[in-house]
Structure 1
Amino acid sequence: MNRSWVEPVFDTKYAAPRGLAVGAALLGALLLVQQPTQARDWLFAAVALALCLLGVGRAFGAAVAQAGLLVAAHACGADLIATLKVLAAIAVFEVSVRCPGRRPVVAASVLACAVVANRVTDLPGELASVLYKTGVVAGVPLLLGAYVRATREAARRAREHLAREEARAEQRVHSARAAERAVIARELHDLVAHHVSSMVVRVGVARHVLPGAGPDGPADPRIGAVLDDLHASGTAAMADLRRLVAVLRDPDSVGPDAPPLLTPGALATAVAAVVTQSARSGLTISSAVDEEGLARVDTARGLAVLRLAQEGLANAARHAGADAHAELTVRVDRDGGVHVTVDDDGGAAQRPELPAAGPHGHGLVGLRERVDLLGGSLAAGPAARGWRLRAELPAAPPYAPRAEKTPQRETQP
């Protein structure tokens, strides 16, 4: 809730500026409007000015003293009675705004008694006039101050209530997200992790039960290499799944002291491992990777580069075929911007038109979301002979992420 510009004017911390303003107004009235002609009037004016300054720290005492000064000035026949009444009313207003409890009523009662004392000779004939002046001088400041104080208290309670509601809403969102993460983590563990673990075990068993298998594995070394590769990939996938499930269940389990998923120095090695892994599927890959530039890329963009290379080469192997040729290019600008391109030639068939895309998966969707978060752009679509995936990651993400929608080509896994 935004505060009105008027509300801070009556805060206790601004009592000193208010007191100085009242003192300045008093000096202006004495010098420009009603200049005293006698020494006693200047004396009363000086005392009134001192009481204005005293009211900065002791509003109640200053208000009572202003009422006493009003009685003394009237008894001495001073010409500043009207000015002193205004100052006494302002003092009661300050007490009503700043002081809790019964002190505002006491200050207003003292001022009312002072006004009545000054007009006691007019009673009872001028009773109505005396009561009216008493109500105006003492009652109106009391009511106005009480209203301002009540309004400030209501605004303060409203802000506190809003802050509590925002905290509760944030807590509810946090609890809902935690419940969603728990559900996703449970499904990942019960469905994906269970099946991947079972496949890893079966691949390990297959190395020893295939025809011709000996102590060192199958008789055909090519079959052994494939099985070893499947076993290593499944084991790595299981490790990543366990880490992901742990993070989903308890995000705080990965603290600031935990090692990052990917360090900048290891990015070039990780990209090379992706190229080697993709080449095992039969895909011919030409890579041009700026290893020195990748050493300067931060972890967030580094993970994006790694996922772009993985998804681009995986789609090339899946859609263009094992006999296709793919080119991976990773270039880093001087300012830290990263450009990733994956091209394939469409396979040996060299068909002039690509086949209609099957059901879309979520690989490119996830890549686009990851690139958008970094403020970059992603384009994926048909090229001259095959398919091209191109992404640009800026060194510093702009305020408004931009995205370019293009056709997607992948099948539902």
Structure 2
Amino acid sequence: MGGPGDPVTLRMVGQVTGERRSWWPELLLGLATAALGLASTLLSLPEVPRQPVVGVFAVLAGLALVGVRRWPWAVLVAELALIVVGDGLTLTGADTPQLAGAVALAAVAYRSGWRATAAAYLLYLAATLVNVLDPGNTVIFSGGQGVIRLIMLGGIAAAPLAFGRYLRGVREAARAAEERARDVEERRLVETRAARLAERAAIARDLHDIVAHHVAAIALRAGAARYAVQHTGRPEEAVTALGELRDTAGQVLDELRELLEVLRDPEAVEPAEPQVEPAQVIRDAARRLREAGLAVQVTLPMALSTVPLVVGTTAARLVQEALTNTLKHAGPGAIATVDLRLVDGALLLEVTDSGPLRPRPPLPASGYGLSGMRERVGLLGGTLTAGATENGGWRVRARLPIRENT
């Protein structure tokens, strides 16, 4: 019977199964240690008396290792106790606990800090000395050779400690590498998100520049065609306006198609080089206004082509947007002037119109024109002002600084 709780149940069963499986390495280690201890007891030299209790110490030492990964300190203390007791009661009963204690010391060194590891080493060394020293063999560490034996014994006892600390270092290095990889991945995601946001903002600006300008021209030409049919009785004027409307609509479709091709291309990381020069963009925008019935005068400096491309492109987009606003709000019969000059290391831009000749219903505003212009100018560290003139028109002024590293 299925239900919403089934995935949770399966996950819990999987976790329990994983925990049970994780006991197997320690269990196999304990059984192998116990078997090794029993085998060494059965295969002992003939002159060494066999003591059945030695096998008991071997089994206990092996079974204690089952919990070495979870409770290394408890297992180490148990093994040290078996060493001391086995050495006191038997001749070889401490041998297997001695080996198991080395494993427990390595586990403590792997799981604990330096202070706890040093304490565990001293305890293990003390138990080892108890196992080595016999009541009738107290001179084993006397003299110069005794010091050498003591140093060798300390080094042997430190071997599992060094192995455990080495594994701990490997674990910490792997953890640090994982954290660095995670940080790099998070940083990459943040940078990717920022790049996507910047790309979306650029696409929004391009869409506004393309659509707003051409759609305004389309609306005016459609209105002119309608007026020609209804009031003038001159169908040829309507046909001319409709032909211009068709040409403008085709240009919009071409530019939108190019933009969509860029969006569909996952390998297109860098923006494509513009197909037209900034001066050509300005002339095309002025031509469209003239075709819509406005008078446009354009003054461009000869050195416009020498300014950095980003400055020239920004100026062209500003002029295009300002003329679009003139087309929307002033309409046919208005006079617009476009003036670009290079003064004191900056490109100065001014677009002025005379305002509408008669009251006319305004076209719906996109809401992004002026804010988009301010954003473009702000990215270059320039300034922009826009406002009404004394004669009822509109003026847009911008100053775009020219930097050598732009």
Which TM-score tier does this pair reach, normalised by the shorter chain?
A: 0.3 to 0.5
Structure having the higher Rg:
2
TM-score by length of 1: 0.47
TM-score by length of 2: 0.48
